[in-house]
Amino acid sequence: MDRKPRMSRLRIGIDIGGTFTDLCVLEEETGEVFNLKVLSTPADLTRGVMEALDGFFADGRSPDDVTFLFHATTVATNALLERKGAETWLLITEGFTGVYETPELGEVRTGSYDYLSYPKPPMLVPQRHTIQIPERMDFRGGVLRPLDEAETRRRLQRLSGSGVESVAVCLLFSFMNPAHEQRLRELVAEAAPEAQVYLSCETLPQIREYPRLATTVVNGYVAPVVNRYIHRLEEALASRRIRRPLYIMQSNGGSLTSGALRNIPVRMIESGPAAGVLGAAHVGRMTGHLKVISFDMGGTTAKAGIIEDGEPRIVPRFQAGEWLVTTPSLDLVEIGSGGGSIAWIDKSGMLKVGPQSAGADPGPACYPNGGEAPTVTDADVTLGWLDPEFFLGGKFKLNAPAAAEAIAGQIAAPLGLELIEAANGIIKIVSSQMVEALRLVTVSRGEDPREYVLVAFGGAGPVHAALLAEELKIPRVLIPPSPGVHSAVGLLVSDLKRDYIQTHFAELAEVTVSEVQSRFEAMERVAQEEFAAQGISPDKIRHERAIDLRYSIQKYELPVPVARTVLAETDKGGWRRTFDELHEKHYGSRAQDQRVELVNYRLTTKVVLPKPHAVEQADHEETPDGALKGRRRAYFDGWQDCPIYDRERLVCGNRIRGPAIIEEMDSTIIIHPRQAARVDRFGNVILELAGEEKR
């Protein structure tokens, strides 16, 4: 570990990935940055976190100097995708169990138009763990059938002694009147005091039964697992005298305290990927690139996101594996293509890569004590792209013969290929999969990838990014300093943020602006109270308002911004015009003769934290000879003798023509023939495709 001067006022970001746990520390006053990578510890993720922190504080730095501690974690994601959540029961309005058992067409992504055989997501709560509740609200929140407490108590006796950890409650129209759900929390506490209760009126107070129900169930399913993890982590932090609040990254790209997220951990599902996109947006703004494709390739997965006008795109719901989650999230596509993705041959004799991953344990074949299956990282080593002696700056030696043996025995020999052909085939297949992910966040959203800059990070991102850019004709690839820990860097530039939503259905023409104003003011009072409980004064809070509008013939809405000024009746015409324009942009048409309906009020509350200032370098000569560390053979459709550069010694103004390789502690940059690289004043490496160097 590099020895650094002692710091003060430390902002810490810790990101847990499938293979590595990354630490990034910013000294707020000087801008000095410290990075560290350790292997993730899947059996107990807190061990990897504490190993990273112990490594940083080993030099005698004081935990008392920590000002902020940000964390991105895969705990909620893993609990859901691996089906390792808590035993959860569901309480639902009598007669409506079919809402969960048969989701409406279109509520789950099928990947095809075969609606007759579309796959239903697996039920996280089996039918035998569903209890029907004798009650009913109408669509205005009026009581059609009072809650029968005596009968409800009798039915809830099934919970007693069942070992239930979590109870999800979703009653009809509770978003209009939560009284019955709130009373059920008290009744469950009588029957099963050990169970935690999660109400849909708190998780997602929004119209549409299936999304609200599905999200509440996911929330209840992952919550006990997440809360146990947070409890262990906070105990471990306290034992190291780190007593600052723990801020956790949410799917929406904002952070909240662990306490604020205990009842809504469903908002953490895309925690890690969101941090990386935030970092990419920050780098883009810093360098004047406001249209960015974020590409994060780690050991287990590859993630792609899109940034427009310097801000990540937000979507109101997303698919987490097979499950629909209706909470605001950064617009992301994630596939099982990482450095640890396993290469294999299917029954028809076709070479495949992923989605199975070797992860951190046992890891790729080339890892110390690694597995037997060949992976993408093994192919990178075999092609000469990675130096076995310099992985993680030389602290982690790779076994090149083991990589070659795994590829030769399990891929090359069965397919009748030479070793190098098999390794190159693995790279081509995984590249095609990642190109498809980039297309999904651009072309399928109506965007031209040629108008964007690709910001590549993650340990494996800079290794493979140039191939993807060539395929999509993206003119530039930007690789930030310390790309292997960039998601942890993204945590350091996050703001505190919370999203609120409330359904109040009406025709836009019939709603008064005073009603709109009063509803938003009520939501803002709730937000300010919640942030005040975290010690944040109202003068530091920013509110952003929006209303969800749709044509009367439609099922889904588009959000329209609402200014935080004194509203006038004429503003309604502006909202209508904005909605028409947005509809035409998204769907290619507008229906000006149709009535417009207001469905939801949305409020995003932020506390903008000071951002680290960028340290700029002076210009130097183009020749990078001072950074040359040697040469080695690498394969680019043929073996070539390549110069190897030390990124730590590259300076602003340096230019390198491919083929060449740039190495640093946490990643390796591959520059292909017909490509060139330059170093900008912030230390970013900019890869430029042939014909783009002078642009």
Instruction: Give dist(CA 275, CA 280) in Å, integer.
Output: 9
- The H or E element spanning position 402 is helix 400-407
Cβ-contact 174, 180 below 8 angstroms: yes
Query: How confident is the model at residue 68, as a pLDDT?
Result: 92
Query: How confident is the model at residue 114, as a pLDDT?
Result: 45
- The H or E element spanning position 496 is strand 496-507
In this prediction, residues 340-349 reach a mean pLDDT of: 94
Task: Give the strand pairing for 66-72 and 10-16.
Answer: parallel
In this prediction, residues 657-677 reach a mean pLDDT of: 95
Query: How confident is the model at residue 691, as a pLDDT?
Result: 56
Q: Is the pLDDT of residue 692 over 70?
A: no
Q: Is the pLDDT of residue 479 over 60?
A: yes
pTM comes to 0.89
A 10 A CB-CB count for 131 gives: 20
Phi, psi values for residue 212, rounded to 5°: -65, -45
Q: How far apart are the first and last CA of the chain?
A: 39
Mean residue pLDDT of the chain comes to: 91
Query: How confident is the model at residue 654, as a pLDDT?
Result: 96
Query: How confident is the model at residue 695, as a pLDDT?
Result: 43
Q: Where are the alpha helices (DSSP H) in 411-512?
A: 413-415, 419-441, 461-472, 486-492
Nearest to 497 by CA among 645, 289, 295, 311: 311
Distance of CA 691 to the CA centre of its chain: 34
Query: How confident is the model at residue 107, as a pLDDT?
Result: 55
Instruction: Give dist(CA 91, CA 167) in Å, integer.
Output: 7
Which position has the token pair 């909240």? 256
CATH 3.30.420.40 residue spans of the chain: 10-79+229-267
In this prediction, residues 514-537 reach a mean pLDDT of: 93
Give residues with Cβ within 8 angstroms of 130, minimum separation 6: 89, 90, 91, 92, 97, 100
Residues comprising the chain, all counted? 695
Nearest to 131 by CA among 86, 168, 179: 168
A 10 A CB-CB count for 654 gives: 23
User: Would you say domain 10-79+229-267 falls under CATH 3.40.190.10?
Assistant: no
Q: Is the pLDDT of residue 521 over 70?
A: yes
88-93 sheet: strands from edge to edge: 130-133, 88-93, 166-170, 196-199
List Cα–Cα distances, 226 to 46, 202, 223, in angstroms: 12, 18, 5
In this prediction, residues 292-315 reach a mean pLDDT of: 93
Query: How confident is the model at residue 6, as a pLDDT?
Result: 52
Query: How confident is the model at residue 633, as a pLDDT?
Result: 97
Query: How confident is the model at residue 5, as a pLDDT?
Result: 46
Confidence label for 111 from pLDDT (cuts 50, 70 and 90): very low
Confidence label for 535 from pLDDT (cuts 50, 70 and 90): confident
Query: 108: exposed, middle or buried (C-beta count within 10 Å: 0-12, 13-18, 19+)?
Result: middle
Cα 57–61–67 angle (5° rounding)?
Answer: 95
Nearest to 597 by CA among 525, 664, 511, 676: 511
- Lowest mean pLDDT of 116-120, 127-131, 211-215, 671-675, name the range: 116-120
In this prediction, residues 290-306 reach a mean pLDDT of: 93
pLDDT digits (tens, 9 = 90+) for 156-206: 999 998 889 999 999 999 999 999 999 999 999 999 999 999 999 999 999
Query: 668: exposed, middle or buried (C-beta count within 10 Å: 0-12, 13-18, 19+)?
Result: buried
Give residues with Cβ within 8 angstroms of 473, minimum separation 6: 449, 450, 689
| Structure token pair of residue 329 | 């999230």
Query: How confident is the model at residue 192, as a pLDDT?
Result: 96
pLDDT digits (tens, 9 = 90+) for 390-445: 988 888 899 999 999 999 999 999 999 999 999 999 999 999 999 999 999 999 88
Query: How confident is the model at residue 109, as a pLDDT?
Result: 52
Confidence label for 104 from pLDDT (cuts 50, 70 and 90): low
pLDDT digits (tens, 9 = 90+) for 570-598: 889 999 999 999 999 888 899 988 999 99
Query: How confident is the model at residue 121, as a pLDDT?
Result: 80
Query: How confident is the model at residue 28, as a pLDDT?
Result: 84
pLDDT digits (tens, 9 = 90+) for 602-614: 999 999 988 877 7
Instruction: Give dist(CA 292, CA 21) in Å, integer.
Output: 25
Nearest to 667 by CA among 464, 455, 383: 464
In this prediction, residues 644-670 reach a mean pLDDT of: 96
Confidence label for 106 from pLDDT (cuts 50, 70 and 90): low
Q: Is the pLDDT of residue 690 over 70?
A: no
pLDDT digits (tens, 9 = 90+) for 29-83: 887 888 898 988 888 999 999 999 999 998 888 899 999 999 999 899 889 988 8
